A and B are shown apart, each in its own frame.
Chain A
Amino acid sequence: MATNPLSDIMRDHICKLISRDERADGRSREEFRPLTITTGYVSSAEGSALVSLGDTKVLVGVKCTVGEPFPDTPDKGVLTTNAELIPLASETFESGPPGEESIEIARVVDRGLREGKAVDLEKLCIKPGEEVWINFVDIHALDYDGNLFDAANIAAVAALRSTIIPASRMEKGEDFPFPMAHLPISATFAKINGHLIADPSFDEESVASARLTVVTLENGKLCAMQKGLGGSFTRAEVEKAINLSLKWGEKVRSEHFSGGD
């Protein structure tokens, strides 16, 4: 992936603002950008969600088919998460097979869903050892203005939550809603000039020395974390990130995912 050639003057500007608890887009250090979620955006998918986090836009589509379970989990459905950082979304993305950045995003989203037990995979079993539902969560970045991790996580959760398993079309009984058990929500922080900032923008990401993603559940537990980039965090910074992540998770769940489940 190509890097963002940010000018020195912009770099200095971002650093100076952050030391005063200000940011280029008017936020404070701990503030996230406005979040909007549109579910059912793609009718050809079994479930879908278009998420905007500030100017970052991510589309997730879910497709379900019938297939064989893995030998070690004969009574569980299969969930596969895949991310496409297509060059339409940013001059820093290139076409071709998924690079390490898109693999990392897909794996962090996947880890949140899997370890947070977001999906009751046993309810996706049709005939143990023979037939289960195979579910593809495809993450499509459309416009990249930083923090794809959180936009992708929220879009994946929202898309799965809106998914209807097409059982009648596949002659496997009646259609039913995707069996969601928990709502793992991620929050990502960047370290710039010794300060922790929430939900970094594209320019902020190119100044950041380190990145930390914390995925939390509605019961206040943690289910996944990922530290990235070459810099480091102190223990106090990690604890602060966890606290802020719990708050963000609660806010997202109550404002966007209340009702049902």
Chain B
Amino acid sequence: MGGMTTDLKLIDERGLRIDGRRPDELRPLRIEAGVLKRADGSAYVEWGENKVLAAVYGPRECHPRHLQNPARAIVQCNYNMASFSVSDRKRPGPDRRSQEISKIISEALEHVVFTHFFPRTSIDVYIEVLQANAGTRCAGLTAASVALADAGVPMKDMIASCAAGKVADTIVLDLRKEEDNFGQADLPLGLVPKTGEIVLLQMDGDLSVEEFNTALSMATDACYRIYEMQKEALRNKYCVSKDAMPEALEETIQEIEQERSSETNEANQDQPPEGNDPDQEGQ
């Protein structure tokens, strides 16, 4: 990062990026829940040119046995890139990069899963990158959260994840490959939207404290947008079609929705929620 030079103009005269996005614009994101039959839970994420599958197995018997924790479940994430997911064929199997990503995603997910409900077990999360174009760890964590919810694993919330960074001295959201390769900084973030807790954070490159705060706010804001898409994916999978619904049930649902909308109106007045403001984090 920062070490490479290019003739590529990463930000044009109009302040737009090489794919025409504004600095704070996400790439197109599509999330689908429950896409695999064999897994207990699964999700597919298409994020720009990234294609990522996540599957959850468990809680199940813990292998290897010595990792078993008598007090709680462990979350074992395995992030893997298909050999054809990158432009030069990647040798199959784990490398140092994918092992590190697996570790930090496992740790992030352990924070939201109610692991004490399932002592001695393992909740196995598999993230498979089928096509990569920068930001696969964020796409993987976003997909894994939806897959855990699809598997019915009890959690306090899902995790939404997105990166921000710096290219051509501008803070931008959700870097694509060229911006990652020739940019100045990358800051992937994983956030628990309900509490504002930061559960995944990495940074590489060159940022001033001020730039860091701007980037973190930008990524945080994007995580809340992604969170809505994650919930929508679950709703699409599990909502009952209105045509198939008995009238009485429909009325009950309408009542609940009305109650909920009045609640959210009240809640909106308290915005932003605590911890949502990144400026408070460093103090």
Contacts and interface: CB of A to CB of B under 8 A. Distances in A.
| A and B: interacting chains | yes
Contact of A95 (B36, B78, B83, B133): B78
Interface in A85-109: 86-91, 94-95, 97-98
Contact of B85 (A42, A82, A145): A42
Interface string B15-37: 00000000000000000000011
Contact of B51 (A42, A86, A98, A144): A42
Between A44, A45, A63, A94, the greatest number of chain B beta carbons within 10 A of the residue's beta carbon is seen for: A44
Interface stretch (A135-143, A149-157, A210-218): A135-143
B124 interface: yes
Contact of B87 (A44, A55, A82, A202): A44
Given A44-B132, A88-B39, A61 B83 contact: yes
Given A57-B36, A136-B89, A44 B84 contact: yes
Interface in A61-100: 61-63, 65, 82, 84, 86-91, 94-95, 97-98
Interface residues of A, number: 33
Given A88-B55, A88-B128, A45 B84 contact: yes
A61 B84 contact: yes
B65 interface: no
A62 B128 contact: no
Contacts of A65: 88-89
Interface string B105-139: 00000000000000000001010101111000000
Contact of B83 (A82, A90, A97, A143): A82
Contacts of A94: 63
A57 B84 CA distance: 17
Contacts of A41: 51, 130
B93 interface: yes
Contacts of B80: 86, 88, 95
Contacts of A144: 38
Interface residues of B, number: 32
Chain A interface SS verdict (over half): loop
A258 interface: no
B81 to A, nearest CB: 10
A44 B126 contact: no
Interface string A93-128: 011011000000000000000000000000000000
B54 to A, nearest CB: 8
A90 B38 contact: yes
Contact of B38 (A59, A138, A145): A145
Interface in A160-179: none
A116 B234 CA distance: 46
Between A41, A57, A62, A86, the greatest number of chain B beta carbons within 10 A of the residue's beta carbon is seen for: A86
A138 B82 contact: yes
B151 interface: no
Contact of B37 (A45, A97, A143): A143
Given A61-B82, A87-B78, A136-B89, A43 B37 contact: no
Given A142-B53, A142-B128, A143-B37, A84 B92 contact: yes
Contacts of A88: 36, 39, 53-55, 80, 126, 128
Contacts of A42: 51, 82, 84-85, 130-131
B71 interface: no
A122 B60 CA distance: 51
Nearest to A134: B89
6 contacts: A63-B84, A82-B92, A88-B126, A88-B128, A89-B36, A138-B89
Interface of A: 41-45, 48, 55, 57, 59, 61-63, 65, 82, 84, 86-91, 94-95, 97-98, 136, 138, 140, 142-145, 202
Given A82-B92, A88-B55, 5 more contacts: A59-B82, A65-B88, A91-B38, A95-B80, A95-B94
